[in-house]
Homo-oligomer: A and B are copies of this chain.
Amino acid sequence: MQIVVMGSAAGGGFPQWNCNCRNCYSLRQGNFRGPSRTQTQVAVSDDGHCWFLLGASPDLRVQIESTFALHPQGGTRHSPIAGVVLLNADIDHMVGLLSLRELHQFVIYCTVSLRQILLEDNRIFGILNRVPQQARWMDAKVGEGFPLKTVSGVETGTSCELFPIGYKWPAYVPRDRRERLEPDAASLGVTLTSAGQKRLVFLPTVPSIDNDLLQKLEMADLILFDGTFWSDDELVRVEKGGPSAGEMGHVSVGGPNGTLSRLRGLLGPQKVFLHINNTNPMLDPTSPEHKSVLEAGWRIAEDGWRFEL
Protein backbone atom coordinates (compact mmCIF):
# COMPACT_ATOMS: atom_id res chain seq x y z
CA MET A 1 0.00 0.00 0.00
CA GLN A 2 1.31 3.45 -0.96
CA ILE A 3 0.36 6.31 1.31
CA VAL A 4 0.80 10.05 0.67
CA VAL A 5 0.31 12.69 3.35
CA MET A 6 -0.93 15.55 1.15
CA GLY A 7 -1.67 17.78 4.13
CA SER A 8 -0.74 17.54 7.80
CA ALA A 9 -2.25 20.57 9.61
CA ALA A 10 -5.47 20.81 11.59
CA GLY A 11 -8.42 22.92 10.40
CA GLY A 12 -7.26 26.37 9.28
CA GLY A 13 -3.85 25.09 8.15
CA PHE A 14 -0.47 26.46 9.14
CA PRO A 15 -0.23 29.40 9.07
CA GLN A 16 -3.89 30.16 9.79
CA TRP A 17 -5.29 33.24 8.00
CA ASN A 18 -6.23 35.19 11.15
CA CYS A 19 -3.58 33.87 13.56
CA ASN A 20 -0.53 35.72 14.75
CA CYS A 21 0.59 33.19 17.37
CA ARG A 22 4.29 32.57 17.81
CA ASN A 23 4.38 29.83 15.14
CA CYS A 24 2.28 31.69 12.54
CA TYR A 25 4.08 34.98 13.12
CA SER A 26 7.57 33.56 12.79
CA LEU A 27 6.62 31.49 9.73
CA ARG A 28 5.37 34.64 7.96
CA GLN A 29 8.50 36.50 9.06
CA GLY A 30 10.67 33.79 7.49
CA ASN A 31 12.23 32.82 10.84
CA PHE A 32 10.47 29.50 11.38
CA ARG A 33 12.64 26.42 10.94
CA GLY A 34 9.84 24.08 9.80
CA PRO A 35 7.57 24.10 6.73
CA SER A 36 4.06 25.50 6.29
CA ARG A 37 1.31 22.88 6.17
CA THR A 38 -2.02 22.50 4.41
CA GLN A 39 -5.03 20.92 6.11
CA THR A 40 -4.86 17.17 6.76
CA GLN A 41 -5.33 15.02 3.67
CA VAL A 42 -4.15 11.48 3.01
CA ALA A 43 -4.35 9.35 -0.15
CA VAL A 44 -3.76 5.60 -0.44
CA SER A 45 -3.23 3.26 -3.36
CA ASP A 46 -2.62 -0.41 -3.84
CA ASP A 47 -1.03 -0.14 -7.30
CA GLY A 48 0.03 3.51 -7.62
CA HIS A 49 -2.55 4.11 -10.38
CA CYS A 50 -5.88 4.04 -8.61
CA TRP A 51 -6.07 6.25 -5.50
CA PHE A 52 -8.52 6.71 -2.65
CA LEU A 53 -8.62 9.90 -0.62
CA LEU A 54 -9.12 9.68 3.14
CA GLY A 55 -11.27 12.73 3.73
CA ALA A 56 -11.46 15.72 1.39
CA SER A 57 -9.72 18.77 2.84
CA PRO A 58 -10.61 22.37 1.90
CA ASP A 59 -7.08 22.57 0.41
CA LEU A 60 -7.66 19.60 -1.89
CA ARG A 61 -7.22 21.51 -5.16
CA VAL A 62 -3.69 22.68 -4.40
CA GLN A 63 -2.87 19.38 -2.70
CA ILE A 64 -3.74 17.45 -5.87
CA GLU A 65 -1.54 19.76 -7.93
CA SER A 66 1.33 19.15 -5.47
CA THR A 67 0.98 15.36 -5.78
CA PHE A 68 2.27 14.05 -9.10
CA ALA A 69 0.60 10.64 -8.69
CA LEU A 70 -2.82 12.33 -8.67
CA HIS A 71 -2.41 14.28 -11.92
CA PRO A 72 -4.55 13.20 -14.89
CA GLN A 73 -2.90 10.59 -17.11
CA GLY A 74 -4.62 9.66 -20.39
CA GLY A 75 -7.45 11.43 -22.22
CA THR A 76 -8.62 15.02 -22.06
CA ARG A 77 -10.45 14.53 -18.79
CA HIS A 78 -9.07 12.01 -16.31
CA SER A 79 -8.07 11.58 -12.69
CA PRO A 80 -6.39 8.73 -10.81
CA ILE A 81 -8.80 9.49 -7.93
CA ALA A 82 -11.20 6.54 -7.70
CA GLY A 83 -12.93 7.49 -4.49
CA VAL A 84 -13.09 9.10 -1.08
CA VAL A 85 -13.56 7.57 2.39
CA LEU A 86 -15.17 10.00 4.87
CA LEU A 87 -14.81 9.72 8.63
CA ASN A 88 -16.72 12.70 9.99
CA ALA A 89 -18.64 15.83 9.04
CA ASP A 90 -15.94 18.30 10.12
CA ILE A 91 -15.47 21.12 7.62
CA ASP A 92 -11.75 20.46 7.35
CA HIS A 93 -12.49 16.82 6.49
CA MET A 94 -15.12 17.12 3.75
CA VAL A 95 -15.46 20.56 2.14
CA GLY A 96 -12.93 19.45 -0.48
CA LEU A 97 -15.64 17.23 -2.00
CA LEU A 98 -16.77 20.47 -3.65
CA SER A 99 -13.41 20.66 -5.40
CA LEU A 100 -14.20 17.31 -7.06
CA ARG A 101 -17.26 18.76 -8.82
CA GLU A 102 -16.17 18.60 -12.46
CA LEU A 103 -18.15 15.53 -13.56
CA HIS A 104 -15.44 12.98 -12.75
CA GLN A 105 -16.92 9.63 -11.69
CA PHE A 106 -15.87 8.47 -8.25
CA VAL A 107 -17.09 6.54 -5.21
CA ILE A 108 -17.83 8.12 -1.82
CA TYR A 109 -17.78 5.69 1.11
CA CYS A 110 -19.47 7.07 4.22
CA THR A 111 -22.14 6.24 6.77
CA VAL A 112 -25.82 6.88 6.03
CA SER A 113 -25.76 9.58 8.73
CA LEU A 114 -22.95 11.48 7.07
CA ARG A 115 -24.59 11.18 3.65
CA GLN A 116 -27.81 12.61 5.09
CA ILE A 117 -25.99 15.60 6.59
CA LEU A 118 -24.23 16.30 3.30
CA LEU A 119 -27.04 15.76 0.81
CA GLU A 120 -30.14 16.69 2.83
CA ASP A 121 -28.96 19.52 5.08
CA ASN A 122 -26.43 20.98 2.64
CA ARG A 123 -27.89 21.09 -0.84
CA ILE A 124 -24.65 22.39 -2.30
CA PHE A 125 -23.27 18.84 -2.27
CA GLY A 126 -25.95 17.99 -4.84
CA ILE A 127 -23.43 19.43 -7.33
CA LEU A 128 -21.71 16.03 -7.11
CA ASN A 129 -24.80 14.45 -8.65
CA ARG A 130 -25.55 16.85 -11.49
CA VAL A 131 -25.39 13.96 -13.97
CA PRO A 132 -26.16 10.26 -13.43
CA GLN A 133 -23.13 8.12 -12.54
CA GLN A 134 -21.11 11.08 -11.25
CA ALA A 135 -20.48 10.55 -7.50
CA ARG A 136 -21.60 7.10 -6.36
CA TRP A 137 -22.48 7.19 -2.66
CA MET A 138 -21.80 3.84 -0.97
CA ASP A 139 -23.24 3.25 2.51
CA ALA A 140 -20.52 2.13 4.89
CA LYS A 141 -21.45 0.47 8.18
CA VAL A 142 -19.43 1.12 11.30
CA GLY A 143 -17.55 -2.01 12.38
CA GLU A 144 -18.10 -3.94 9.14
CA GLY A 145 -15.16 -4.34 6.78
CA PHE A 146 -15.59 -3.72 3.05
CA PRO A 147 -13.28 -3.79 0.02
CA LEU A 148 -12.47 -0.48 -1.68
CA LYS A 149 -13.91 -0.70 -5.18
CA THR A 150 -13.79 1.64 -8.17
CA VAL A 151 -16.98 3.02 -9.79
CA SER A 152 -16.93 0.08 -12.16
CA GLY A 153 -16.88 -2.34 -9.21
CA VAL A 154 -13.24 -3.45 -9.51
CA GLU A 155 -11.69 -4.36 -6.14
CA THR A 156 -8.45 -2.52 -5.48
CA GLY A 157 -6.96 -5.03 -3.05
CA THR A 158 -7.35 -2.69 -0.07
CA SER A 159 -10.04 -3.33 2.52
CA CYS A 160 -11.43 -0.80 4.89
CA GLU A 161 -13.00 -0.86 8.34
CA LEU A 162 -14.53 2.15 10.05
CA PHE A 163 -14.70 2.21 13.84
CA PRO A 164 -16.25 4.71 16.28
CA ILE A 165 -13.90 7.08 18.04
CA GLY A 166 -16.17 9.91 19.22
CA TYR A 167 -19.78 10.85 19.74
CA LYS A 168 -19.80 14.56 18.93
CA TRP A 169 -21.29 15.99 15.72
CA PRO A 170 -20.04 19.33 14.40
CA ALA A 171 -21.78 22.42 15.77
CA TYR A 172 -23.47 23.19 12.43
CA VAL A 173 -25.51 19.94 12.39
CA PRO A 174 -29.12 20.91 13.28
CA ARG A 175 -30.63 19.56 16.49
CA ASP A 176 -33.52 17.77 14.77
CA ARG A 177 -31.04 16.01 12.49
CA ARG A 178 -28.83 14.89 15.38
CA GLU A 179 -31.71 13.02 16.96
CA ARG A 180 -32.06 10.87 13.85
CA LEU A 181 -28.37 10.00 13.32
CA GLU A 182 -26.51 6.79 14.23
CA PRO A 183 -24.88 7.70 17.57
CA ASP A 184 -21.67 5.80 16.87
CA ALA A 185 -21.14 7.41 13.44
CA ALA A 186 -20.26 10.92 14.63
CA SER A 187 -16.49 10.54 14.45
CA LEU A 188 -14.70 7.53 13.03
CA GLY A 189 -11.27 6.07 12.66
CA VAL A 190 -10.34 3.77 9.82
CA THR A 191 -8.14 0.71 9.41
CA LEU A 192 -7.00 0.04 5.84
CA THR A 193 -5.58 -3.41 5.14
CA SER A 194 -3.56 -4.06 2.00
CA ALA A 195 -3.61 -7.25 -0.09
CA GLY A 196 -0.38 -8.18 1.69
CA GLN A 197 -2.09 -7.76 5.12
CA LYS A 198 -0.28 -4.55 6.03
CA ARG A 199 -2.36 -2.18 8.13
CA LEU A 200 -2.68 1.61 8.20
CA VAL A 201 -4.77 3.19 10.98
CA PHE A 202 -5.80 6.79 10.21
CA LEU A 203 -7.13 8.85 13.12
CA PRO A 204 -7.20 12.59 12.45
CA THR A 205 -9.45 13.16 15.49
CA VAL A 206 -9.10 11.20 18.75
CA PRO A 207 -11.12 12.41 21.75
CA SER A 208 -9.70 9.80 24.11
CA ILE A 209 -7.65 6.61 24.16
CA ASP A 210 -9.27 3.43 25.49
CA ASN A 211 -8.43 -0.27 25.39
CA ASP A 212 -10.42 -0.94 22.21
CA LEU A 213 -8.38 1.70 20.42
CA LEU A 214 -5.12 0.38 21.88
CA GLN A 215 -5.91 -3.07 20.47
CA LYS A 216 -6.44 -1.66 16.99
CA LEU A 217 -3.22 0.34 17.17
CA GLU A 218 -1.23 -2.70 18.26
CA MET A 219 -2.22 -4.52 15.08
CA ALA A 220 -1.14 -1.63 12.81
CA ASP A 221 2.03 -1.21 10.77
CA LEU A 222 1.59 2.55 10.53
CA ILE A 223 -0.59 4.94 12.51
CA LEU A 224 -1.38 8.50 11.42
CA PHE A 225 -2.67 9.99 14.64
CA ASP A 226 -4.33 13.16 15.96
CA GLY A 227 -1.58 15.64 16.85
CA THR A 228 -3.84 18.69 17.05
CA PHE A 229 -2.85 20.17 20.42
CA TRP A 230 0.17 19.79 22.66
CA SER A 231 -1.71 20.70 25.84
CA ASP A 232 -5.33 20.87 26.90
CA ASP A 233 -5.32 24.65 27.47
CA GLU A 234 -3.27 25.55 24.38
CA LEU A 235 -6.03 27.41 22.55
CA VAL A 236 -7.34 28.98 25.75
CA ARG A 237 -3.99 30.67 26.23
CA VAL A 238 -3.63 31.83 22.61
CA GLU A 239 -7.20 33.07 22.26
CA LYS A 240 -7.48 34.30 25.87
CA GLY A 241 -10.53 32.12 26.37
CA GLY A 242 -12.30 29.56 24.22
CA PRO A 243 -12.56 25.78 24.50
CA SER A 244 -10.00 23.29 25.79
CA ALA A 245 -8.56 20.56 23.56
CA GLY A 246 -10.74 18.03 25.38
CA GLU A 247 -13.86 20.11 24.80
CA MET A 248 -12.98 20.25 21.11
CA GLY A 249 -12.67 16.45 21.01
CA HIS A 250 -8.90 16.06 20.95
CA VAL A 251 -6.62 14.20 23.35
CA SER A 252 -3.42 16.26 23.81
CA VAL A 253 0.00 15.06 22.70
CA GLY A 254 1.85 16.08 25.88
CA GLY A 255 1.09 15.93 29.58
CA PRO A 256 0.54 13.01 31.96
CA ASN A 257 -2.67 11.88 30.20
CA GLY A 258 -1.48 12.78 26.70
CA THR A 259 -0.84 10.50 23.76
CA LEU A 260 2.93 10.21 24.24
CA SER A 261 2.37 8.99 27.76
CA ARG A 262 -0.64 6.78 27.05
CA LEU A 263 0.95 5.07 24.02
CA ARG A 264 4.43 4.70 25.53
CA GLY A 265 4.13 0.91 25.32
CA LEU A 266 3.08 0.85 21.68
CA LEU A 267 6.25 -0.36 19.98
CA GLY A 268 5.10 -2.22 16.85
CA PRO A 269 3.81 0.37 14.36
CA GLN A 270 5.49 3.43 12.87
CA LYS A 271 3.88 6.31 14.74
CA VAL A 272 3.22 9.63 13.02
CA PHE A 273 1.32 12.72 14.19
CA LEU A 274 -0.74 14.74 11.74
CA HIS A 275 -3.76 17.11 11.95
CA ILE A 276 -1.44 19.46 13.85
CA ASN A 277 -2.84 22.84 14.90
CA ASN A 278 -0.91 26.01 14.02
CA THR A 279 -0.56 26.77 17.75
CA ASN A 280 1.11 23.44 18.63
CA PRO A 281 4.67 24.10 19.87
CA MET A 282 5.89 20.73 18.54
CA LEU A 283 5.67 22.20 15.00
CA ASP A 284 8.83 24.17 15.78
CA PRO A 285 11.85 21.89 15.20
CA THR A 286 13.84 23.87 17.79
CA SER A 287 11.29 23.37 20.59
CA PRO A 288 11.64 20.98 23.53
CA GLU A 289 8.20 19.61 22.64
CA HIS A 290 9.43 18.63 19.16
CA LYS A 291 12.44 16.93 20.67
CA SER A 292 10.38 14.97 23.17
CA VAL A 293 8.09 13.69 20.39
CA LEU A 294 11.03 12.33 18.44
CA GLU A 295 12.57 10.84 21.58
CA ALA A 296 9.30 9.00 22.24
CA GLY A 297 9.62 7.29 18.86
CA TRP A 298 7.04 9.40 17.02
CA ARG A 299 7.41 11.57 13.93
CA ILE A 300 5.66 14.82 13.01
CA ALA A 301 4.24 14.63 9.49
CA GLU A 302 5.01 17.21 6.82
CA ASP A 303 3.06 17.74 3.60
CA GLY A 304 4.33 15.43 0.87
CA TRP A 305 5.53 12.59 3.08
CA ARG A 306 5.15 9.13 1.56
CA PHE A 307 5.01 5.69 3.12
CA GLU A 308 4.94 2.22 1.63
CA LEU A 309 3.58 -0.79 3.53
Which residues on A are within 8 Å of B, measured CB to CB?
11-13, 15-21, 24, 28, 36, 58-62, 64-65, 70-79, 81, 91, 95, 98-104, 121-127, 130, 170-174, 238-240, 242
Looking at chain A's contact residues, the main secondary structure is loop
Whether B17 pairs with A64 at a CB distance below 8 angstroms is yes
Starting from the known contacts A58-B98, A58-B99, 18 additional A-B residue pairs (CB-CB under 8 Å) come to: A12-B61, A13-B61, A15-B65, A17-B79, A17-B99, A18-B77, A18-B81, A20-B77, A24-B72, A59-B62, A62-B62, A76-B240, A91-B101, A91-B127, A95-B98, A103-B239, A123-B172, A127-B171
Q: Smallest CB-CB separation from A127: which chain B residue? A: B172
* Partner among B15, B62, B238 whose Cβ is within 8 Å of the Cβ of A76: B238
| Complex-state Cα separation, A157 to B18, whole angstroms | 24
State the Cβ distance, A76 to closest chain B Cβ, in Å: 5
Closest 7 CB pairs of A and B: A18-B79, A20-B72, A126-B172, A121-B123, A17-B64, A18-B104, A122-B122
